[in-house]
């Protein structure tokens, strides 16, 4: 069975790159009837925070990327297990104690640099057949090093990058436990991947250079290494490393900006993966079609305009009932009470053609739920003039007796235009400013229908007063 994992270090929120890695892992598992597991790599206690763990869960939950393990795995809860594996490796001779002091190692590095060599541990405490090691110095707590094979090659058959070959002589003996006994990063990853039965490690390509060591340690433990897929980084539209100035980086910021989670997934999956020239995918289609053969080995470019486009496509076609909870979140965020006005679904149906984001939709729909705080100055100056006063008066009269349904309202508005010999716009725009406070709104018949008779007429009356004054 395919088992993948997402293993964030909780040092900040869930950012775009992490979310894409999580999505790829999730899709790969789901598309193969496999499992997707969550692991929190929190052994770096200086940098890991509870708040970051929560922020990562929040982002994952919003995107609908749940782990299949009932509880995520926390590395800090597995210290006993790591100690056990280290003890086993020491006993088997695949790891050894190293007593070299910091000063000695600094000196070694300085000498190597002076000779223009790559700094590496020289194996001074590495046990070898026939080699006599010095007596351990008194009072020094040793680190534990992995005794890495010093000949041969490590072949990484990366599912995205292709084959990468490392010369074993390049890989020195990695510290797997510090002198205080705490295990190091690469070692924990290896033990976890082994214990969790991970078949496919999918992660950012900043980890490529960790991989040969991880493979060697797995082999030393008698475990078959998983397959690896190292995903290229995401660049900004200008080709520079993605940073804050290219737009929001945290997934939840995209929520605030008004993205639908499904649209976000769709946008993220296309950052590096393609399926012919198809741009829009349902979650199910992504699951069915995602593979690593079509993930690019070169960096993806972030394109905010495209993200907006994808979001708009989703807003236009998604069942409004599925949009409604997210829309409600946006209304509440800007202090609008969604219960104080028309059904959200009906508003979404009218607004979605004209809004690229839910934040925009919420802002443009305020007037359905709140009393107007005033009129847009420019629009009022244009449309609430003495000339429009009789138009508004005629409307109030006609609408007063109209059935309050879009069709009847449509006929009533057209009737007034005809009677007064005006173009439809000359009637519709004053109505818009009157009821919405601005000259943009959904079609006027629907806008009036959604607002309801009482609210609409009261606003028309207030506007008629202003226009006549
Ligand atoms: N914790 C690592 C990170 O957040 C990921 C390690 C891995 O996936 O192996 O970059």
Sequential pLDDT tens for the chain (469 residues): 999 999 999 998 999 999 999 999 999 999 999 999 999 999 988 899 999 999 999 999 999 999 999 999 999 999 999 999 999 999 999 999 999 999 999 999 999 999 999 999 999 999 999 999 999 999 999 999 999 998 899 999 999 999 999 999 999 999 999 999 999 999 999 999 999 999 999 999 999 999 999 999 999 999 999 999 999 999 988 888 887 777 768 999 999 999 999 999 999 999 999 999 999 999 999 999 999 999 999 999 999 999 999 999 999 999 999 999 999 999 999 999 999 999 999 999 999 999 999 999 999 999 999 999 999 999 999 999 999 999 999 999 999 999 999 999 999 999 999 999 999 999 999 999 999 999 999 999 999 999 999 999 999 999 999 988 7
pLDDT of amino acid 239: 85
* φ, ψ dihedrals at 122, nearest 5°: -90, 5
- Least Cα distance to 30 among 215, 230, 288, 236 occurs for 288
Question: Residue 253: exposed, middle, or buried by beta-carbon count in 10 A (0-12, 13-18, 19+)?
Answer: middle
pLDDT of amino acid 315: 98
Q: Dihedral sign, CA of 145, 151, 157, 160?
A: positive
In the chain, CATH 1.10.8 sits at: 319-365
Query: pTM for the whole thing?
Result: 0.93
In the chain, CATH 3.90.800.10 sits at: 78-185
Does the Cβ of 9 fall within 6 Å of ligand 1?
A: yes
Per DSSP (E only), the strands in 11-111 are 35-40, 73-74, 95-98
Residue with CA nearest ligand 1 atom 4:
8
Please give the helix or strand (H or E) that residue 229 lies within, else none. strand 227-231
pLDDT of amino acid 237: 85
What single DSSP character describes residue 168? G
- Least Cα distance to 117 among 126, 106, 108, 104 occurs for 108
CATH architecture classification, 319-365: Orthogonal Bundle (1.10)
Does the Cβ of 203 fall within 6 Å of ligand 1?
A: yes
In the chain, CATH 1.10.10.350 sits at: 377-468
Beta-carbon contacts of 122 under 8 Å, excluding residues fewer than 6 positions away, are 108
pLDDT of amino acid 248: 66
Q: Which atom of ligand 1 has the smallest separation from the CA of 202? A: 8
Residue with CA nearest ligand 1 atom 6:
7
d(CA 7, ligand 1 centre) in Å: 5
* Protein fold of 1-69+232-318: Rossmann fold (3.40.50)
d(CA 440, ligand 1 centre) in Å: 48
Q: Ligand 1 pocket check: which of 203, 212, 214 to mutate, most ligand atoms within 8 Å of Cβ?
A: 203
Beta-carbon contacts of 123 under 8 Å, excluding residues fewer than 6 positions away, are 150, 172, 173
d(CA 358, CA 361): 5
Does the Cβ of 41 fall within 6 Å of ligand 1?
A: yes
Give CA 254 to chain center in angstroms: 8
d(CA 198, CA 72): 14
pLDDT of amino acid 330: 98
* φ, ψ dihedrals at 300, nearest 5°: -90, 155
d(CA 78, ligand 1 centre) in Å: 17
**Residue range 78-185, CATH number:** 3.90.800.10
- 155: helix, coil or strand? strand
Q: Which residues are catalytic?
A: 244
What single DSSP character describes residue 182? P
Report yes or no: 42 and 75 within 8 Å, Cβ to Cβ: yes
d(CA 46, ligand 1 centre) in Å: 17
* Protein fold of 377-468: Arc Repressor Mutant, subunit A (1.10.10)
């Amino acid at each position: 069975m395919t088992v993948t994992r997402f293993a964030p270090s909780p040092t900040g929120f869930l950012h775009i790159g992490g979310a894409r890695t999580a999505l790829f892992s999730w899709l790969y598992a789901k598309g193969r009837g496999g499992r997707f597991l969550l692991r929190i790599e929190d052994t770096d206690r200086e940098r890991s925070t509870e708040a970051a763990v929560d922020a990562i869960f929040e982002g994952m939950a919003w995107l609908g990327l749940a782990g299949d393990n009932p509880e995520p795995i926390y590395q800090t809860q597995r210290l006993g297990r790591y100690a056990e594996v280290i003890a086993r490796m020491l006993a088997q001779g695949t790891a050894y104690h190293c007593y070299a002091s910091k000063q000695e190692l600094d000196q070694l590095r300085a000498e190597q640099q002076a000779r223009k060599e790559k700094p590496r541990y020289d194996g001074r405490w590495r046990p070898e057949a026939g080699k006599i090691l010095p007596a351990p110095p008194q009072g020094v707590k040793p680190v534990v090093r992995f005794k890495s094979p010093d000949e041969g090659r490590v072949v990484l058959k990366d599912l995205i990058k292709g084959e990468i070959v490392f010369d074993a002589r390049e890989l020195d003996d990695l510290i797997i436990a510090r002198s205080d006994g705490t295990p190091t990063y690469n070692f924990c990853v290896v033990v976890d991947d082994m214990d969790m039965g991970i078949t496919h490690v999918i992660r950012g390509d900043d980890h490529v250079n960790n991989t040969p060591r991880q493979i060697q340690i797995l082999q030393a433990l008698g475990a078959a290494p998983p397959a690896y897929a190292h995903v290229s980084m995401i660049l900004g539209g200008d080709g520079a490393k993605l940073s804050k100035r290219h737009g929001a980086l945290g997934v939840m910021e995209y929520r605030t900006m008004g993205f639908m989670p499904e649209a976000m997934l769709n946008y993220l999956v296309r950052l590096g993966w393609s399926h012919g020239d198809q741009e829009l995918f349902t979650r199910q289609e992504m699951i069915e079609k995602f593979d690593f053969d079509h993930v690019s080995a070169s960096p993806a470019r972030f394109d905010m305009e495209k993200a907006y486009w994808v979001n708009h496509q989703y807003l236009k076609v998604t069942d409004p009932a599925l949009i409604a909870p997210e829309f409600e979140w946006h209304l509440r965020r800007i202090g609008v009470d969604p219960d104080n006005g028309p059904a959200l679904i009906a508003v979404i149906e009218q607004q979605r053609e004209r809004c690229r984001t839910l934040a925009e939709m919420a802002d443009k729909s305020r007037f359905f739920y709140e009393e107007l705080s005033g009129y847009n100055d420019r629009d009022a100056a244009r449309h609430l003039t003495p000339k429009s006063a009789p138009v508004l008066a005629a409307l109030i009269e006609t609408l007063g007796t109209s059935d309050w349904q879009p069709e009847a309202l449509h006929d009533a508005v057209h009737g007034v235009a005809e009677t007064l010999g005006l173009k439809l716009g000359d009637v519709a725009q004053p109505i818009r400013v009157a009821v919405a406070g601005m000259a943009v709104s959904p079609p006027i018949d629907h806008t009036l229908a959604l607002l309801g008779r009482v609210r609409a007429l009261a606003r028309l009356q207030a506007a008629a007063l202003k226009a006549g004054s």
